[in-house]
Amino acid sequence: MFRIILARLVSTVIVVFGVASLVFLLIHFVPGDPVDMMLGENAQMADREALRESLGLNRPVGIQLLHYFSNLLQGDLGTSLHSREPVVQMLAERLPATAELAMASLLISCLIAFPLGIIAALNKGKTWDKTAMGVSLLGVSIPNFLLGPVLILIFSIYLGWLPVSGREGLDSMVLPAITLGTALAAVLSRMIRSTLLEVLQEDFIRTARAKGDSHYQVVIRHALPNAMLPIITLLGLQLGVLLGGAVITETVFSWPGIGKLTIDSIMKRDYPVVQGCVLLISLTYVIVNMLTDLLYAWIDPRIRLGQ
Amino acid sequence: MMGQLHVSSAIIIIWVMGSFLAQWLPLDINHIQLEAILKPPTLDNWFGYDDLGRPVFDRLLSGSYTSCVVALTVILMSACIGTIIGTLSAYLGGMFDQVITRVIDIFLAFPGILLAIALAGIMGPGIDNVVIALSIVGWVGFARLARAQTLSVKHREHVVAAEVMGTGRAKIIFRHLIPLISTPLLVEATFGIASVVIAEAGLSFLGLGVQAPDASWGSMIRDGTRYMLVAPHLVLIPGMALMMVVLAVNLAGDRLRDRLDVKTQINENGV
């Protein structure tokens, strides 16, 4: 177990290092001179030099990278070009909103996906299965920037039940969470179905049936717990879809989270903030994946007891 | 299931043909008719007019061209680059393989289309940058799949025989390895088209894709959301078109996978 944790930690550190370097290099993708792009053609020479100095762009790339990492280790992501606030502080202000939304979406997608996947697996090939998988395919194919406006149209404008946008109270979270959760629910229900179908073919299921367990007992007590392992890993991987989708969903609903901050800063050409947002979202994803891997290793006795 | 195949193939054919016809038809995508502003669909004009009085049908076809060209270019570029890198990495092995594996891990650590959004945003808006950004993100999936597939076939007899006969590495890769692993890659490419169509529309929705007055389904949806109360057709028409194409491509991918019986861990979500 200790060796597994160590190996996983080492590979995570390498990936984190690579992700941070790539985010640092992002600013070098700006066509031409980034300073020109930020200030426009008519900027004063002194302003340009001041900005170049504050971004550290006047130094060699190697030194910039070194400086970037030493700041990063001290939790310094630079300051916003626009509001002059420290980027870390801006991220900290927005983080709760995104975390809240992600949790709610995860909950909603599990509530949709588990019944759908289980029903489909238990009725393989029948109408129920086809309906459930049809719904799931629909969910994969409807992009969140379409689902969001359609939900607003129905529930906020025609029915007037829920607010159009913003983050005030629990009811403002319902539509964004459904929008964000749908795609995940669709993917998840397909995975639950296929994992469950695989498990249902195992010998221990036949044994359980032979000793007289009811159909319900077989599924709940024997099939589901064994299907959970791969599902947990897949859930961790799919969190990426959720975090990526949050950028668009937050924009649709003006939800004041990290995703909205990313798009707003792209529009304002506030590169340090863009870098900070991308770094925070990706690192969250990397760390969650590492934790799911470790969780998997801990839950599975074959790995935990060191085989 | 046959019926499904026919419907989805028909939608894909209409999409591709419509896209290329859009280049030949005399479309008035920028023809502003003030008396027709926000006019809903009628029997004379099934698709209505947008907030500037431009015909939605013409803009829909033009947007179809945008999505089709972006999808095909991005998939072609990422499939070629990804396959070559992945195959090479698995075939050569050693340090090169280790470095490539790490690079793939790092790219996969960026969730969803976040990296594409950041790249497109930083390179500046425009459809060329969207293609570049999506290709930079898209090659990784192909590389990972090609690498895994190559690892499983590189010790087959015909490859060993070719090596013994002194065949060059390039020839082994292109003649003996890539044809053998092309089936799962083809399935991956089909699902990839669906996700690139969504990604292009998403970037255009965010204002990072095509710029006014050009049309894209994503930018049509974005412009339409402002008039949702008075003219919901501005969101619903491009939205339905987008959904139907994505659904059709996904269904085609499912069918293709079942028919070719690809037993690999293909990401159900595409890229």
Query: Given this model, what pLDDT does residue A191 score?
Result: 87
Confirm or reject contact between B128 and chain A (CB < 8 A).
no
Contact: A142, B115; criterion CB under 8 Å: no
Instruction: Name residue B132's amino acid.
Output: I
Closest chain A residue to the Cα of B226, Cα to Cα: A149
Is the CB of residue A267 less than 8 Å away from at least one CB of chain B?
Answer: yes
Q: Confirm if B124 and B152 have CB atoms less than 8 A apart.
A: no
CA B74 to centroid of chain Cα atoms: 6
- B112 close to A (CB below 8 A): yes
Write down the pLDDT at residue B261.
Answer: 67
User: Is A90's pLDDT higher than 70?
Assistant: yes
Of B115, B122, B269, the CB nearest to A271: B122
- Cβ neighbours for B29, distance < 8 A, ≥ 6 positions apart: B54, B55, B58, B59, B62, B213, B214, B215
Region B80-93: mean pLDDT is: 93
CA distance B130 to chain A (A): 13
Q: Do B235 and A267 touch (CB under 8 A)?
A: no
Report residue A128's pLDDT band, with 50, 70 and 90 as the boundaries. confident
Query: Range with the lowest mean pLDDT among A36-50, B64-78, B90-104?
Result: A36-50
pLDDT of res. B193: 93
Using the beta-carbon criterion (under 8 Å), do A248 and B205 form an inter-chain contact? yes
Mean pLDDT in residue range B74-87: 95
**pLDDT band at B268, cuts 50/70/90?**
very low
Q: Note whether A90 and A261 are within 8 A (CB).
A: yes
Contact yes or no for B123 and A244 at CB 8 A: no
Mean pLDDT, chain A, rounded, equals 84
Question: Are the beta carbons of B201 and A248 separated by less than 8 Å?
Answer: no
> d(Cα A123, Cα A118) in Å, to the nearest integer?
9
Q: B230 touching A, CB under 8 A?
A: no
- Assembly ipTM: 0.83
Is B221 an 8 Å CB contact of chain A? yes
Take residue B103 and report the two structure tokens written for it.
């690079």
Q: Shortest CB distance from B117 goes to which of A11, A27, A247? A: A247
Residue in B99, B104, B110 to test binding to A, most A beta-carbons within 10 Å: B110
Which residues 109-138 in chain A show a CB within 8 A of chain B?
137-138
Measured between beta carbons, the chain B residues lying within 8 angstroms of A267 are 207
The per-type count for chain A, helices as H runs and strands as E runs, is 14, 0
Tokens encoding B216: 């894209």
Q: Is residue B222 pLDDT above 70, yes or no?
A: yes
What is the mean pLDDT of the segment spanning B146-172? Answer: 88
Given a cut of 60, whether residue B138 has pLDDT beyond it is: yes
Please check whether residue B166 touches A, CB under 8 A. Answer: no
Question: Exposed/middle/buried for A135, CB within 10 Å: 0-12, 13-18, 19+?
Answer: middle
Please report the pLDDT score of residue B236 as a whole number: 87
Q: How far is B4 from chain A (nearest CA, A)?
A: 11
Nearest to B106 among A22, A149, A267 (CB): A22
Most confident of A6-10, A219-223, B52-56: A6-10
Q: How many CB pairs under 8 A join A and B?
A: 142
Average pLDDT over residues B206-215: 83
Q: Is A176 helix (H, G, I), strand (E, B) or coil?
A: helix
Residue B168 pLDDT exceeds 80: yes
Give mean pLDDT, residues A150-156.
86
Confidence of residue A245 (pLDDT cuts 50, 70, 90): confident
What percentage of chain A carries pLDDT values higher than 70?
Answer: 96
> Which among B206, B223, B230 is the top mutation candidate for probing chain A, defined by the most A β-carbons within 10 Å of its own β-carbon?
B206
pLDDT, residue B231, reads 82
Task: Count other C-beta atoms under 10 Å from residue A299's C-beta.
Answer: 13
What is the enclosing helix (H) or strand (E) of A132? helix A127-141
Q: What's the CA gap between B79 and B189, in Å, rounded?
A: 7
CA A260, A262, A265, A266: dihedral to nearest 10 degrees?
Answer: -110
Q: Which residue has the higher pLDDT, A257 or B1?
A: A257
Minimal-distance CA residue of chain B relative to A25: B119
CB-based burial label for B183 (10 Å; 0-12, 13-18, 19+): middle
Per-residue pLDDT band at B269 (split at 50, 70, 90)? very low
- Among A151, A225, A250, A231, which residue's Cα sits nearest to residue A193? A231
Query: Are A146 and B202 within 8 A, CB to CB?
Result: no
Max mean pLDDT range (B90-99, B212-221, B224-233): B90-99
Per the model's pLDDT, the better-predicted residue between A228 and A249 turns out to be A249
Q: Is the pLDDT of residue B267 over 50?
A: no
In terms of CA atoms, which chain B residue is nearest residue A139?
Answer: B247
Residue at token pair 């829920």: A162
Query: Quick one: average pLDDT of A29-37?
Result: 68
Q: Which residue of A has its CA nearest to B249?
A: A141
Task: Collect all residues with Cβ–Cβ distance below 8 Å to B238 and sequence separation of at least 6.
Answer: B56, B60, B63, B217, B218, B220, B221, B224
pLDDT at A113 over 60: yes
| Interface contact flag, B202 A248, Cβ < 8 Å | yes
The pLDDT of residue A306 is: 63
CB–CB of A266 and B251 under 8 A? no
Residue B235 has pLDDT above 60, yes or no: yes
* Alpha-carbon span B108 to A232, nearest angstrom: 18
B55, β-bridge pairs: B49
List, for residues B27-61, the tens digit of each pLDDT value.
777 777 777 677 777 767 777 777 777 777 888 88
What would the two tokens of residue A269 be?
Answer: 């050409």
Q: Which among B124, B194, B218 has CB closest to A31? A: B124
Residue B262 confidence (pLDDT): 55
State yes or no: pLDDT of B233 exceeds 90.
no
Q: What is the reported pLDDT for B3? A: 54
Nearest to A14 among B102, B115, B239 (CB): B102
Task: Kindly identify which residue of chain A lies nearest to residue B117, measuring between CA atoms.
Answer: A263
| pLDDT, average across residues B72-93 | 94
The span from the first CA to the last CA of chain B, in angstroms, equals 26
Query: Phi and psi of A184, rounded to 5°?
Result: -65, -45
- Chain B residues with CB under 8 Å of A285 CB are 109-111
Task: Measure CB to CB from residue A141 to each of B110, B221, B246 and give the nearest one.
Answer: B246
Mean pLDDT, rounded, for A93-115: 90
Record: contact A146-B221, CB cut-off 8 A: yes
Nearest CB neighbour to B112, from listed A141, A244, A251: A244
pLDDT digit string (tens) for A186-197? 888 988 888 888
Per-residue confidence at B89, pLDDT binned at 50, 70, 90? very high
**B122, A190: Cβ pair inside 8 Å?**
no
- Ramachandran quadrant class, B5 (left: phi over 0; alpha: psi -120 to 50; beta: rest): alpha
Q: What is the overall mean pLDDT for chain B?
A: 84
* Alpha carbons B27 and B21: distance in angstroms, whole number: 10
Enumerate the residues of chain B whose CB falls inside 8 A of the CB of residue A245: 112
Q: Which residues of B touch A22 (CB under 8 A)?
A: 106-107, 110
pLDDT (0 to 100) of residue A173: 84
Whole-number pLDDT of residue B264: 43
